[in-house]
């Protein structure tokens, strides 16, 4: 049976890709046939092979599957580094869930676990009436919330967790990512998040460690996907 999880973030730039890649390394180290997916990516560059996005390429590399088509990992690639609904409009594209779901189904058919990384925060718009959260909601995926550990994270994490639960999704747990190595009272803030969030901490990623080296910090996340 194929499993899947949606990796959401408290904001943009807080390390969703880093956490998703680290989770992929942890899953593969545990013997899982796992791959990553970035359904929608804005901020892509033109290459001889077409538009490519650094986050999607990182997920592809962390999947360890040289034969995996880029278009399955990132079916909607947009040029400008803007909110997806704006980047899509500038590219003359309308984002819909159908082609994303088709790519997801192909990945599920060949991999035991699919780690689906969202774009921006939970309520980033993709198109009129369509939000990043709809991917997790309509595909009925459990959610792992990545919390960027920096000043303000307590508020951002609680708001995101409430929105995830209010949308009827299962919050499987959360991962702390140390985006600010100089954050004051880091351990106390993590302890506060453990008390306030309605799901367990699945690991805290230290600042500066590459995904392959940080994989041991996400053993609880691997167990949660059993």
Identify the bridge partners of residue 7 per DSSP, sorted by sequence position: 117, 144
Q: In this predicted structure, what is the pLDDT of residue 103?
A: 98
How confident is the model over 137-161, as a mean pLDDT?
97
Q: Which two tokens stand for residue 159?
A: 């708001």
How confident is the model over 107-118, as a mean pLDDT?
96
Domain that holds residue 50: 3-224
User: How do residues 85-96 score in pLDDT, each as one tens digit?
Assistant: 999 999 999 999
Element housing 117 (H / E): strand 113-117
Q: What is the CATH number of the domain that holds 151?
A: 3.40.50.300
Rounded to 10°, the helix 16-29/54-63 angle is 10
Our CA dihedral for 207, 209, 211, 212, rounded to 10 degrees, sits at -160
Query: What is the pLDDT of the chain when averaged over all its residues?
Result: 96
Q: Which of 38, 85, 111, 217 is catalytic?
A: 38
pLDDT band at 6 (very low <50, low <70, confident <90, very high): very high
What distance in Å separates the CA atoms of residue 120 and residue 43, rounded to the nearest whole number? 12
Examine the residue annotation and report whether 16 is marked as an active-site residue of this protein. no
For residues 26-56, one letter each, b for 16 or more C-beta atoms within 10 angstroms of the residue's C-beta and e for the rest, the string is bbbebebebbbbbbbbbbbeeeeeebbbebb
Structural domains in the chain (count): 1
Q: In this predicted structure, what is the pLDDT of residue 1?
A: 45
What distance in Å separates the CA atoms of residue 58 and residue 70, rounded to the nearest whole number? 11
Q: In this predicted structure, what is the pLDDT of residue 152?
A: 96
Does 77 score more than 70 pLDDT?
A: yes
pLDDT band at 66 (very low <50, low <70, confident <90, very high): confident
Q: Which residues are within 8 A (CB) of 121 and not within 5 positions of it... i.e. 6 or more apart?
A: 8, 9, 10, 11, 12, 132, 160
Does 147 score more than 70 pLDDT?
A: yes
pTM of the model: 0.96
Q: In this predicted structure, what is the pLDDT of residue 2?
A: 60
How confident is the model over 24-49, as a mean pLDDT?
97
């Amino acid at each position: 049976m194929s499993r899947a999880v949606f990796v959401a973030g408290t904001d943009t730039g807080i390390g969703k890709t880093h956490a998703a890649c680290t989770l992929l390394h942890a899953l593969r180290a545990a013997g899982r046939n796992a791959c990553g997916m970035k359904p929608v990516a804005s901020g892509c560059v033109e290459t001889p092979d077409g538009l490519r996005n650094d986050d999607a390429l990182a997920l592809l590399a962390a999947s360890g599957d040289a034969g995996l088509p880029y278009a399955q990992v990132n079916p909607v690639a947009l040029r400008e580094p803007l909110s997806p609904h704006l980047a899509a409009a500038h590219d003359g594209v309308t984002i819909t869930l159908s082609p994303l779901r088709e790519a997801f189904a192909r990945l599920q058919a060949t991999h035991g676990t699919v780690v689906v990384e969202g774009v921006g925060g939970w309520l980033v718009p993709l198109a009129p009436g369509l939000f990043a959260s709809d991917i997790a909601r309509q595909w009925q995926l459990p959610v792992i919330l990545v919390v960027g550990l920096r000043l303000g994270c307590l508020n951002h994490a609680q708001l995101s967790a409430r929105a995830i639960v209010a949308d009827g999704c299962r919050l499987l747990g959360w991962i702390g990512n140390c985006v600010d190595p100089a954050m004051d009272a880091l351990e106390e803030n993590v302890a506060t998040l453990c008390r306030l969030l309605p799901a367990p901490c699945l690991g805290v990623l230290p600042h500066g460690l590459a995904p392959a080296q940080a994989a041991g910090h996400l053993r609880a996340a691997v167990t949660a996907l059993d």
